[in-house]
Amino acid sequence: MTTFTALTTLQGKAAAEALGDAMEALQPEPTGVGVFEMEDGSGLWEVGGYFTAAPDDTGLALLAAAWGAKPFVVSELPETDWVAHVRRELAPVAAGRFFVYGSHDAEKVPEGVEPLLIEAAMAFGTGHHGTTLGCLRAFDRLLDQGVAGGAVADIGCGTAVLAMAAARVWPGTVLASDIDAVAVEVAESNVVANGLAGRVTCVEAAGFDHPQLAAAAPFDLIFANILKGPLMALAPDIAAHLAPGGCVILSGLLNEQADEVIGAYGQAGLALRHRDEIGDWSTLTLGR
């Protein structure tokens, strides 16, 4: 199916978000609208929409004028096998001792690393995003510091890449949970593809609301790579399920959101040990 994109740039987050909201009312309606800060230091924000029919040029021009944006650039995109495209575009990722790759790059896996095979799929967590990469780097740092553990929980696991990283280096129980059934299916497939069946158990659950998570607690390490709101809501549960001396690795939050999350976990009895920033995203390592 042919699709269309309409892209523009303008100054200011508030104006960009307002323009994005206004685009939702266009006819034909966009199938999706995105608002992103450009990472070139220009202070510009990009606003774009995806359409299954040619967008209304007049409507776009009026919106651009109203919000002080540059004229929209409309492009027609041919039907594309996006999974195949992503497989070609995603290069392997090295995060300390961990090496995340797709099967199309199997020959690039170097000696002496902990390989993690993740295919392009519907679930989040290929290792390329700053949040997943930050979690892998944070875990690698703990290992370099001599931290050893057994029971691990990966809450909001996506592809289960973090759970599998733990299973590669620690012998204990690893539980991966996600609220989304599709993510759980993808995670289970990845576990099998990485030869970790029986080492990582994937369950569908909101937070820790699952009998297997309750039975396996307390955990020596808890990953939670989700979003600010759920992270803050989970702070008491994460603290309650953490073993004495255990560690928590959190991500999925923007740099400007990190202090608020640190405060919420401080109230739950967990203190910040390390903070990483990769682009716009923060990763927090905490402990009692």
Over the stretch 71-109, which tens digit does the pLDDT of each residue have? 999 988 766 554 554 454 456 788 899 998 887 778 888
Rounded distance, CA 161 to CA 231, Å?
19
What is the predicted pLDDT for the residue at 7? Answer: 94
Q: Which two tokens stand for residue 225?
A: 């790579």
| CATH, domain range 123-287 | 3.40.50.150
CA gap 51, 31 in Å, rounded: 5
Question: What pLDDT sits at residue 21?
Answer: 94
Fold annotation for 3-77: Alpha-Beta Plaits (3.30.70)
At 15, list the tokens: 């104006």
Q: Quote the pLDDT of residue 78.
A: 65
> Which residues are CB-contacts of 155 (< 8 A; sequence separation ≥ 6)?
177, 207, 208, 222, 223, 224, 226, 234, 238
DSSP code at position 68: T
User: What length is written for the chain?
Assistant: 288
Domain ranges of the chain: 3-77, 123-287
Q: Which pTM does this prediction carry?
A: 0.70
Rounded-to-10 torsion of CA 139, 140, 144, 148 = 40
What 8-state DSSP symbol labels residue 106?
A: G
Instruction: Judge if 3-77 and 123-287 fold alike in CATH terms.
Output: no
pLDDT value of residue 40: 65
- d(C-alpha 35, C-alpha 181), whole Å: 27
Cis peptide leading into residue 218 (ω within 30°):
yes
Cα–Cα dist 22/11, whole Å: 16
* Positions in the chain whose pLDDT score sits under 50: 82, 85-86, 88-89, 122-124, 126, 128
Helix, strand or coil for residue 211? Answer: helix
**What does each C-alpha distance from 32 to 35, 155, 225 come to in angstroms?**
10, 27, 24
